[in-house]
A and B are shown apart, each in its own frame.
Chain A
Amino acid sequence: MATLDSRTISRMMMAPAVFLLLVWMLVPLTMTFYFSFKKFLPLRGGDLGWVGFENYIRFVTSSSFWPSVQATLAIVGGVLLITVFFAILLALLLDQPMWGQGIVRILVIAPFFVMPTVSALVWKNMFMDPVNGLFAHLWKFFGLAPFEWLSQASLLSVTMIVSWQWLPFATLILLTAIQSLDREQLEAAEIDGASTLARFYHIILPHLGQAITIVILIQTIFLLSIFAEIFVTTQGSFGTKTLTYLIFQRVLESQNVGLGSAGGVYAIILANIVAIFLMRIVGKNLDK
C-alpha cells in the first residue's frame, strides 16, 4: 500500500511540471498549425480568414524554398564533418600527457561559452573584414588582395564560424570517451603488432563510435535551427538563407504570419526526415 500511495503522490507532485512542459510545447505548436491555415497579415488587415493549404503551396513554390533547404543541409553537413574530424584529432592530442593540461582543456572549451551572436560578430569584424580583419592583414602580408569572405565564400564562412563554436562540444565528448578506453587494450594491440595508425583504426575509432553518434545527433538538432550567426553576418544573402532564416523573413520582414507558420511546419518535417536518416545511419551504434 505504501508504495502505491507514494506512487500516486509522486505522480501528483510531478503533474504541474509535466503540465507546464506540455503547455510550453503544445501551445506554440498548435498556434503554428492554426496560423498556417490562415491569411494573417498583422500590418495589412490582420486576420483575413481561412485559406486552406494556400500558404503551404506558396511557401514551397517560392523560388527561395529549395535553395534554403540546400543551404540548411549544406551548413549542417559541413559543420558536422568539420567538427567531428577535428574533434577526433583534438581529443587524441589532448589525451596525451602534457604540461598545463588543465588550462589547455579549459581554453579548448572556451568558444562554447561565447554567445553565438558575439562570436559571429567577432569573426565578421575582427577576422573576415576585408579592410581591418586579421585575415585581410595576413593576405596583404603575402602580397595578395584581401579575400572578401562573407560575400565571396559566404556559405563556407558561416560554416567556419559555426564549426568553431561547436568544435569544443564535440572535442569534450570525444575526449571523455577516449579517456574511458582501457589502456590494456591499446597495449595488447601494440604487442599484437598493430601500428599507431592500425591501433587508431581498429581500437580507438570503434570505441569512439557511440560518442560520435551522440555528437552527431545532438549537433544536428541544434544546427538545423541556427539563426544568430546568419542574422549578424550575411543577413541571409549570398546563398546563406537557411530554412529558419527564410521563415524569419516571411514572418517579420514580409509580415506574413500565415506563410511563415506553414514554413515552420515544413521545418518540423525536414528535421524529422533528417532525424530518421541519421538514426538509420548512425543509430545502430547506440544499441551496443
Chain B
Amino acid sequence: MGHIVLEKVKKKFGDVTVIPPLDLEVEDGEFVVFVGPSGCGKSTLLRLIAGLEDVSSGVIRINGQDATSVPPAKRGLAMVFQSYALYPHMTVRKNISFPLRMAKMDKAEQERRVEQAAAVLNLTDYLDRRPGQLSGGQRQRVAIGRAIVREPAAFLFDEPLSNLDAALRVGMRLEISGLHKRLETTMIYVTHDQVEAMTMADKIVVLHDGKIEQVGSPLELYRAPCNLFVAGFIGSPKMNFIDGEKAEEFNAHTIGIRSEHLVPSPTEGLWKGQVGLSEHLGSDTFLHVHMEKHAEPITVRSGGEVDIHHGDTIYLTPDKGHIYRFDDHGLRVD
C-alpha cells in the first residue's frame, strides 16, 4: 500500500516561495517521475513527502492518514539519495540491516531480509566489504538494498543515477524498472533527465518553478503536451518552435514540430533552408537546418546514411498531423 496525496501543499524558505500550493495524487503501485530543470523544486517536493522538510501549509496523506507532521521514520517511506548516503564505517551487511536494527527487529529475520535483498541486487559477494571498496553502481545497489529491506509503503529516489556513467545509468535504469515490476510498490523518482522519465515512468509530473505544468503518461505528454514548456522539455531532440509568418499560416502564434515529423528532401518541400551542422548517430542523423528569418536552427531527423552535406540547400515538409499550435500565452490549441 502506498497511496500518497498532496493537498494544497506549499513550501516557503524565508520569504521565497519554492512551491506554490500544489495538489497531486500518487496511486498505489505507481511509478511516478518528477521531472523538470534544476531549481524547479522537484527535490524539495520529494523531501516534503519524505518528511525531511516541513510543509509551510497544506496536507500530505499517506494511505489515507494525515502524515503532515509525522516524523520521517514513521511515514513508512524509504529514500535513495543522490550521494547514496551510505554509512562509510559499516560493512554492506550493516548498511543494509541498519533500518532493521533501528527497528529492533529479530536477528534471524534481519539476516533473512538482508540475504534476500542481497540476492535480488547481486550483492551477496560484497556483504562484508565497506562502501569505500565498491564501485559506483554497487554503492547504488547497496543504497537500494537498504531501502528494500524495510518493505516500505513507497520508495523515494532523489536523482539516484546522476553520479553514474552513461553505460551504467542505462543498466541501472532497467534494474530499477525491473525492481518496480517485481515489488509492485509505489515509487517516486526525481530526475532532470527526460530520457529517464520517459523510459521508466507510469506517470510523469513535469515541474517548472515549483508548479505542476502537466501530469500524464510518457506518451500522453509526448503526443499532447499542454504548453510550450512541456512540449520543449519532453522528447529528444527538443521540439522545434517556429513563430512569425510561417506560424500564422497555421493560425497560431507559435507552432511546434518534432524533428522526427519533418521530411527532408533535396528537391521540393514547404520550407527552404540550408544544412548547417549534422550529428551522425549511426542509426539516425540529426540535421541542423538554418532557415531565413530564424535565428534558431531547425533540427531534422533523417536516415543514418543520408547523402546531405554542410551548406546544401534542403526543403522541409512537416507532417500535417503532428504540428502543435500554441497561442500567445504558450498554451496549446487544438
Contact = CB atoms under 8 A, between A and B. Distances in A.
Contacts of A192: 73, 98-99, 102, 146, 150
Given A187-B52, A188-B79, A193 B99 contact: yes
Contacts of B82: 184
Contacts of A189: 87, 98, 102
A207 interface: yes
Contact of B52 (A182, A190, A195, A207): A190
A288 B89 CA distance: 9
Contacts of B83: 182, 184
Interface residues of A, number: 19
A198 B102 contact: yes
A268 interface: no
A194 interface: yes
Nearest to A194: B102
Interface in A187-233: 187-195, 198, 202-203, 206-207, 209
Interface in B232-285: none
A190 B73 CA distance: 6
B92 interface: no
Interface residues of B, number: 23
A117 interface: no
Contact of A188 (B77, B81, B89, B103): B81
B118 interface: no
Contacts of B50: 191
Nearest to A184: B85
Contacts of A190: 52, 71-73
A272 interface: no
A191 B102 contact: no
Nearest to A203: B87
A191 B79 contact: yes
Interface string B90-111: 0000000011001100000000
B73 A207 contact: no
A185 interface: yes
B206 interface: no
A118 B51 CA distance: 51
B40 interface: no
Contacts of A207: 88-89
What secondary structure prevails in chain B residues at the interface with A? loop
B256 to A, nearest CB: 39
Nearest to B72: A191
Main secondary structure of the interface of A (DSSP, over half): helix
A184 B81 contact: yes
Contacts of A206: 87, 89
Nearest to B52: A187
Interface string B116-142: 000000000000000000000000000
Contacts of B52: 187, 190-191
Contacts of B146: 188, 192
Contacts of A194: 73, 98, 102
Nearest to A192: B99
Q: Which of A195, A203, A207 has the most CB of B within 10 A?
A: A203
Contacts of B51: 191
A190 B83 CA distance: 16
A191 B73 contact: yes
Given A198-B102, A202-B98, A191 B87 contact: no
Contacts of B78: 191
Contact of B103 (A187, A191, A193, A288): A193
B310 to A, nearest CB: 47
B107 to A, nearest CB: 17
14 contacts: A184-B85, A185-B86, A188-B79, A188-B146, A189-B102, A190-B52, A190-B73, A191-B50, A191-B78, A192-B102, A193-B102, A193-B103, A203-B87, A206-B87
Interface of B: 50-52, 71-73, 77-79, 81-83, 85-89, 98-99, 102-103, 146, 150
Please list the 7 inter-chain residue pairs (A to B) with the smallest Cβ-Cβ separation, ordered nearest first.
A193-B73, A184-B85, A192-B99, A188-B85, A193-B102, A206-B89, A184-B81
